[in-house]
């Protein structure tokens, strides 16, 4: 069988299985194993040899399994997930929201802005957009509705704020991107800081404009505060700030590797929870259980993706695609625009990790061939994954807010509110594309 046609059919099979709602880990893994078997069992111009195909397929399967399990860098995934779970159950991740809520009590739209800042704080010590939206949605949305906020603003601000979990370090998508592209995860983390702040500021600007145009969406102020409340609220957020500094300052200053920062911050979160008497034994066990569940889910997807990448490398699809782009004399910007469109379309239907691991075998060879910076491209990819989390018809974060918000929350209200933020998302994406220095400024100064 022709290797190139086999590669095309493999991609098509994955797309069809995904359309049938088959979990992406099983899509990638099963198609890769089956196609690898056919590649060796039925060589182009040769006779069918089942035993040879089976031996080769199982060899690739076992070797990829071994390499995957023994990947030292991948150990930071469960560590950062444990950090997020412990910080959430200990109440550390909500401290920034509570502090911002006190400081912005008299600002129109203050609770919505505090929710976005809370999501930013949650993201700064976690790494999962979905977890951020689920946790903050349970806390922020009911408070805003109780305070008289419109449903569109109360739900969409948390859904959009939750996307910051992918961009502000630590970030699981950055970890997986770094492993598969063999780029520095430390530099990827640092590259996401400034774009993450720009995104956060952009969301706040949207809230300001929204409330200015339609004051009925948010009350002028929410509640009276006693003298000293602001100071106490700010002081209460110090555990979250400490964890963020351990990760970012430790990595930037060369004190820790990224994996060491993951381990130290996770242990610190546990110690803070115990010392401050915020983490019970039952909550700690629950954190471990959630960590095991999320880690297993991510590892299954990555395992399937590694096999799929090995299969694609055999077929010659990537060199063919590069040759076609060169023959078309397409400019770098046209290629980048096509890749962005691909990520945006896939983001409407698939989860971010699935999109990332499905597209890397095709997109990275193109970017490397154009001589573009893979750190910068990683930021662009993660930003596109963020946009996919809030883009209809799937918009995973929107459905999470609907699930945690209860039956009174309408999904069309969430997407109606999100549409205002999508304008800001497009503007931010264009800025990051036009000015790569915004992504590369901090990692370029790293020791």
Stretch 273-290: mean pLDDT, rounded? 89
> What local confidence, expressed as pLDDT, does residue 221 receive?
58
pTM for this prediction: 0.82
Cα–Cα distance, 118 to 291 (Å, whole number): 22
In this predicted structure, the answer to whether residue 377 has a pLDDT above a threshold of 90 is yes
> What local confidence, expressed as pLDDT, does residue 447 receive?
57
Cα–Cα distance, 273 to 303 (Å, whole number): 33
How confident is residue 22, by pLDDT bands cut at 50, 70 and 90?
A: confident
Cα–Cα distance, 281 to 292 (Å, whole number): 17
Stretch 286-307: mean pLDDT, rounded? 83
| Of 174 and 357, the one with more pLDDT | 174
In this predicted structure, the answer to whether residue 394 has a pLDDT above a threshold of 80 is no
Cα–Cα distance, 37 to 110 (Å, whole number): 58
In this predicted structure, the answer to whether residue 180 has a pLDDT above a threshold of 80 is yes
> What local confidence, expressed as pLDDT, does residue 69 receive?
66
| Of 396 and 126, the one with more pLDDT | 396
CB atoms within 10 A of CB 59: 12
> What local confidence, expressed as pLDDT, does residue 318 receive?
67
How confident is residue 28, by pLDDT bands cut at 50, 70 and 90?
A: confident
Q: Which residue carries 């100071």 as its tokens?
A: 231
> What local confidence, expressed as pLDDT, does residue 65 receive?
67
How confident is residue 24, by pLDDT bands cut at 50, 70 and 90?
A: confident
In this predicted structure, the answer to whether residue 225 has a pLDDT above a threshold of 60 is no
Ramachandran region, residue 316 (left: φ > 0; alpha: ψ -120 to 50; beta: rest): left
Q: What percent of the chain has pLDDT over 90?
A: 14
Cα–Cα distance, 322 to 280 (Å, whole number): 55
> What local confidence, expressed as pLDDT, does residue 431 receive?
95
| Of 380 and 2, the one with more pLDDT | 380
How confident is residue 45, by pLDDT bands cut at 50, 70 and 90?
A: low
Cα–Cα distance, 404 to 58 (Å, whole number): 43
> What local confidence, expressed as pLDDT, does residue 88 receive?
81
How confident is residue 380, by pLDDT bands cut at 50, 70 and 90?
A: very high
Q: How far separated are the first and last CA of the chain, in Å rounded? A: 50
Q: What percent of the chain has pLDDT over 70?
A: 93
Three-state DSSP class for residue 289? helix
How many Cα atoms are found within 13 Å in the side-chain-facing hemisphere of 303?
A: 17
Stretch 73-79: mean pLDDT, rounded? 81
> What local confidence, expressed as pLDDT, does residue 291 receive?
87
> What local confidence, expressed as pLDDT, does residue 41 receive?
80
Cα–Cα distance, 94 to 227 (Å, whole number): 22
State the virtual CA torsion across 14, 334, 191, 199 in degrees, nearest 10: -90
How confident is residue 35, by pLDDT bands cut at 50, 70 and 90?
A: confident
* C-alpha separations of 174 from 129, 179, 307 in Å: 12, 9, 20
> What local confidence, expressed as pLDDT, does residue 438 receive?
93
> What local confidence, expressed as pLDDT, does residue 228 receive?
56
Cα–Cα distance, 170 to 277 (Å, whole number): 25
Stretch 190-202: mean pLDDT, rounded? 92
Stretch 250-269: mean pLDDT, rounded? 84
Using only C-alpha atoms, the chain has a radius of gyration, in whole angstroms, of 23
Which pair of tokens denotes residue 393?
């018809």
Ramachandran region, residue 207 (left: φ > 0; alpha: ψ -120 to 50; beta: rest): alpha
Please write the tens of the pLDDT for every residue from 87-122.
Answer: 888 888 777 777 777 777 677 788 888 888 888 877
How confident is residue 169, by pLDDT bands cut at 50, 70 and 90?
A: confident
Range of weakest confidence among 167-176, 212-221, 415-424: 212-221
CB atoms within 10 A of CB 253: 10
């Amino acid at each position: 069988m022709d290797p190139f046609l086999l590669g095309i059919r493999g991609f098509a099979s994955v797309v069809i299985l995904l359309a049938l709602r088959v979990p992406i880990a099983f899509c990638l893994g099963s198609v890769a194993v089956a196609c690898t078997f056919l590649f060796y069992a039925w060589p182009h111009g040769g006779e069918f040899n089942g035993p040879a195909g089976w031996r080769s397929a199982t060899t690739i399967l076992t070797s990829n399994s071994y390499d995957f399990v023994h990947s030292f860098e991948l150990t930071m995934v469960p560590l950062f997930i444990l950090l997020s779970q412990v910080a959430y159950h200990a109440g550390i991740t909500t401290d920034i929201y509570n502090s911002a809520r006190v400081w912005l009590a008299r600002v129109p739209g203050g609770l919505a802005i505090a929710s976005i800042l809370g999501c930013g704080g949650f993201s700064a010590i976690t790494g999962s957009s979905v977890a951020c939206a689920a946790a903050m949605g349970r806390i922020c949305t009911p408070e805003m509705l109780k305070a008289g906020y419109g449903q569109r603003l109360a739900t969409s601000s948390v859904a959009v704020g939750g996307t910051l979990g992918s961009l502000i370090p630590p970030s699981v998508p950055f970890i997986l991107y770094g492993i598969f592209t063999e780029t520095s995860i430390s530099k990827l983390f640092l590259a996401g800081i400034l774009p993450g702040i720009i995104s956060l500021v952009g969301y706040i600007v949207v809230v300001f404009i929204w409330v200015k145009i339609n004051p009925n969406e948010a009350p002028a102020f929410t509640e009276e505060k006693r003298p000293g409340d602001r100071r106490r609220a700010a002081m209460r957020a110090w555990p979250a700030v400490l964890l963020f500094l351990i990760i970012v300052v430790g990595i930037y200053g060369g004190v820790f590797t990224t994996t060491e920062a993951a381990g130290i911050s996770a242990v610190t979160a546990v110690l803070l929870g115990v010392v401050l008497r915020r983490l019970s034994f039952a909550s700690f066990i629950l954190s471990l259980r959630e960590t095991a569940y999320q880690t297993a889910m991510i590892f299954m997807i990555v395992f399937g993706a590694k096999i799929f990448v090995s299969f694609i490398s055999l077929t010659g699809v990537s060199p063919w695609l590069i040759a076609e782009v060169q023959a078309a004399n397409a400019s770098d910007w046209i290629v980048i625009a096509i890749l962005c469109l691909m990520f945006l379309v896939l983001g409407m239907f698939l989860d971010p990790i699935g999109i990332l691991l499905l597209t890397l075998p095709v997109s990275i060879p193109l970017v490397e061939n154009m001589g573009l910076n893979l750190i910068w491209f990683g930021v662009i990819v993660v930003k596109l994954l963020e946009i996919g989390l809030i883009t209809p018809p799937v918009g995973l974060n929107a459905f999470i807010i609907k699930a945690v918000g209860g039956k009174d929350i309408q999904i069309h209200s969430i997407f109606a509110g999100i549409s205002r933020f999508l304008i800001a998302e497009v503007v931010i994406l264009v800025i990051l594309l036009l000015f790569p220095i915004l992504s590369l400024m901090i990692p370029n100064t790293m020791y």
